Amino acid sequence: MDYARSGVDLEKLRVIHQVISELVKGDESTVLGVGHYAGVLRYGNLNLAIHTDGVGTKTLLAMRTGRIRNTGVDCVAMNVNDIVSIGARPLALVDYLAMDSPSEEVVRQVIEGILKGADEGLVKLMGGETAVMPDVVNGYDLACTVIGVAEQLKTGGEVKPGDLLIGLSSSGPHSNGFSLIRKLIDQGKLSLKDYEEELLRPTRIYVKAVLQVLKEVKAAAHITGGTFSKLRRVTRYMIDIVMPEPPQVFKAIESAGVPHHEMYRVFNMGVGMILFVSPENKQEVMDTLQKYIEAWEIGVIREGSGIKVTTYKGEKLNFV
């Protein structure tokens, strides 16, 4: 079982992203262009960052289990984690909630989750939009937009051979790969009853931890859809990663019939954020991070190009 057969073809999505990049051209006000973790607009002396993202089909399992509140946290996390990846501090958030029918309970739980996530992500909820679209939406769909400000952008331009990679632990699959997860559950290959807590646990928010070490960090990467392929946004040098053993929920998904290599192309496998640091700053960064989150040294930057990932089973994968 792979992601494409569940309805999400990452290769086709990559082509679509290329089409968008060709159609959408920045102007002299845009700093990073399109395709990075966030868009950045230079406004006076400010670097204003903006990003939008949603929860995806995880909402379908949330409806099935009643864990709707957690997806509000997910929505905030998917945005503020991307904002902080370019060195920006999240400031304000608006949400968009679409439902197949009016539901006071869905609205209440979603907003409660967004407020919880906003508190964790140091961002203020400013408002949003609610829509009822019975012929378009199945259950509910949720997205957020976050703006932030960066005093100094972290784009990866300073990353060089010899720099180290520090991985920050994830809380589970976060908000990616759920079309595949649902297929496995519906086919009886993965038990929702046994893994409900791990699967529906909210996406971890890394803002507080990353901001504490931002001055010592050269770049950051939020590991989401497409997983480690997005590290190309940071640097074109060779990235050599050795992954730690993942939490049990990922082993359960693999045992349900997902090929080992596919797991690392769809899921974060226990590492939800990667920081790039110089060797001389590694210990200071690690000491600070350990106050907030479990972290490991997982890789190094080398001469050359490409992304190599060694799995916890010792299998070597190349990301193109």
Where does CATH 3.90.650.10 sit in the chain?
Answer: 164-319
Angle between helix 104-120 and 68-85 (nearest 10): 30
Low-confidence ranges of the chain (pLDDT < 70): 1-30, 33-35, 320
Q: What is the DSSP string of 15-75?
A: HHHHHHHHH----TTBSS-SSSSSEEEEETTEEEEEEEEE-TTHHHHHHHHT-HHHHHHHH
Return the pLDDT at 225. Answer: 84
The rounded mean pLDDT for the chain is 92
Q: Which pLDDT belongs to residue 81? A: 97
Q: What is the pLDDT of residues 36-64, one digit of tens each?
A: 789 999 888 899 999 999 999 999 999 99
What integer pLDDT is reported at residue 159 of this predicted model?
A: 96
User: What are the beta bridge partners of residue 46?
Assistant: 43
State the pTM of this model: 0.91
**Structure confidence at residue 204 (pLDDT):** 98
SS3 80: helix
Cα gap 107→104, rounded to integer Å: 5
Q: Is 102 exposed, middle or buried (0-12, 13-18, 19+ CB in 10 A)?
A: exposed
For the 26-150 domain, the top CATH level (class) is alpha beta
Alpha helices in 201-259 (DSSP H): 207-213, 248-255
Superfamily of domain 164-319: PurM-like C-terminal domain (3.90.650.10)
Which residues of the chain form CATH 3.30.1330.10? Answer: 26-150
Q: What is the pLDDT of residue 69?
A: 98
pLDDT of residue 131: 97
pLDDT digits (tens, 9 = 90+) for 98-124: 999 999 999 999 999 999 999 999 999
